[in-house]
Amino acid sequence: MMRVYRIQDGASSRYVIEREGTWRALEGDLFGAFTEGAEIPSEGQKVLAPVLPSKIVCVGLNYRDHAIEQGKPLPPEPLLFIKPSTSVIGPGDAIAVPTWAGSIHHEAELAIVIGKRASNVPLAKANDYILGLTCVNDVTARDLQNKDGQYTRSKGFDTFAPVGPCIAVGLEGRDLQVRCYVNGNLRQDSRTRELIFTIPELVTYISQMQTLLPGDIISTGTPSGVGPIVPGDTVTIHVEGIGALTNTVVARQ
C-alpha cells in the first residue's frame, strides 16, 4: 500500500508518494502512468485536499446504527446527494459555520476516490475504477436539513467537505475503523463492515446514473454518533490505514 499526498508547491501543487514514512515525488500523472522520483522532506510541507473533484457523491443512511439514530427506516437502495466542488477544503483548513443556520454536525466518513472515467460499471469490475480511499467530514447544517426536507443547502456550504489527508492506494475498505473526535473526545466509532451498501455496489449504482470522472469522490456514509460542532472546536476524522483529517471550526463571516 502507498499513500499519495497533494502538497503546496509555490503557487501550485504537486503529488508525493509516502511509503513507510518516506516521501518521494510523484512523477507523471496520478490518474495515468507515474513513477516514484527523488526523496523529498515531509517536514514543513503544507498538505492540501488530495483531489479537486468535479463532484462529491454522498450516500445517506448507509450505516444501520445511523439510520436508527435518525429515526429512519433502512433504505432499500442508496440514498444519494451531491456536495459541490466549492465545499472542499484540506487538512488544517477551517470549517466556517454560518451561525444563523442552527445546529451544525460533524459526520465522519470513508470516501472512495475514482481513478478513471466510470460509466455503467459492472459490479465485478468496480474495484478497477477506484484509485484509493480517503477521509471526508460531511459537515451538515442539521436544522436546515430538517427544515428543507432535502440536503442541497444543508450540506453544500463552502468549507463543508474537508477531505484528506491523503489517498490510500491498495487499502482494502471492507472492514476499517471510522472514528470522529471533537476536541479530543471520541464522538463516532464504527467499522465499514457495518455499511449497508458496499464500496463496489456504490460505484456500480452511481455510475449507472452519472459519469464519475477521475478525482471524483464517493463518500460512503456516516455511523452513529453525529453531533454538534461550534466555533472554537477542533474536529478530527480518523480512518484506519488512511490517517487523521483535522480541521478547526470558526464562525462564517
Whether residues 160 and 189 fall in one domain: yes
Question: Please, which pLDDT band fits residue 65 given cuts at 50, 70 and 90?
Answer: confident
Q: Is the pLDDT of residue 253 over 90?
A: no
pTM of the complete model beyond 0.95: yes
Which of the listed residues 29, 47, 65 is the one where a domain comes to its end? 47
Give the chain's mean pLDDT. Answer: 97
31 within 8 A of 116, measured Cβ to Cβ: yes
Whether residues 24 and 146 fall in one domain: no
Whether residues 32 and 104 fall in one domain: no
Which of the listed residues 12, 29, 47 is the one where a domain comes to its end? 47
Question: Please, which pLDDT band fits residue 71 given cuts at 50, 70 and 90?
Answer: confident
Question: Please, which pLDDT band fits residue 66 given cuts at 50, 70 and 90?
Answer: confident
Whether residues 90 and 22 fall in one domain: no
pLDDT at 216: 98
Whether residues 142 and 211 fall in one domain: yes
pLDDT at 192: 97
Whether residues 90 and 116 fall in one domain: yes
Residue 230, helix vs strand vs coil: coil
Range of the domain at 111: 49-251
Q: Distance of CA 9 to CAs 25, 45, 47, 171, Å?
A: 11, 9, 10, 27
Q: What is the end-to-end Cα distance of the chain in Å, rounded? A: 41
pLDDT at 168: 98
Q: Is the pLDDT of residue 72 over 90?
A: no
Residue % of the chain over a pLDDT of 70: 100
- Count the domains in the chain: 2
